[in-house]
Amino acid sequence: MKFIVDEDLCIGCAACEEACPDVFQMSDDGEMAKVILDPVPEDLQDCAMTAEEECPVEAISHE
Ligand code: SF4
């Protein structure tokens, strides 16, 4: 499964990193999240889905 952060929507709240730090990390300037595992392995898909659900601006999607 592949997860994507829409950089135009992301507000840099870091909720996804808190929910699933193995998959999402804030950029060095802290302004947006990035996906650090592509594809996301099966054992991390549940936490990545939780991060997607908790994103306040629905900037995370998967395919
Ligand atoms: S939870 Fe959403 S808005 Fe917040 S940093 Fe992650 S992708 Fe960006």
Backbone phi and psi for residue 60, each to the nearest 5 degrees, phi listed first = -105, 135
- Tell whether ligand 1 has an atom less than 6 A from the beta carbon of residue 48: no
Are 62 and 49 in contact, with CB atoms under 8 Å apart? yes
- Tell whether ligand 1 has an atom less than 6 A from the beta carbon of residue 10: yes
Amino acid at position 34, single letter = K
Name the residue ranges covered by the structural domains of the chain: 3-62
Q: What is the mean pLDDT of residues 36-63?
A: 98
CATH class in words for 3-62: alpha beta
Per-residue confidence (pLDDT) for residue 51, from 0 to 100: 98
Name every residue whose Cβ is closer than 8 Å to that of residue 5 and which is 6 or more positions away in sequence.
16, 24, 32, 33, 34, 35, 59, 60
Residue whose CA lies nearest to ligand 1 atom number 2: 55
Q: What is the mean pLDDT of residues 20-47?
A: 97
- Tell whether ligand 1 has an atom less than 6 A from the beta carbon of residue 5: yes
CA of 38 to the centre of ligand 1 (A): 17
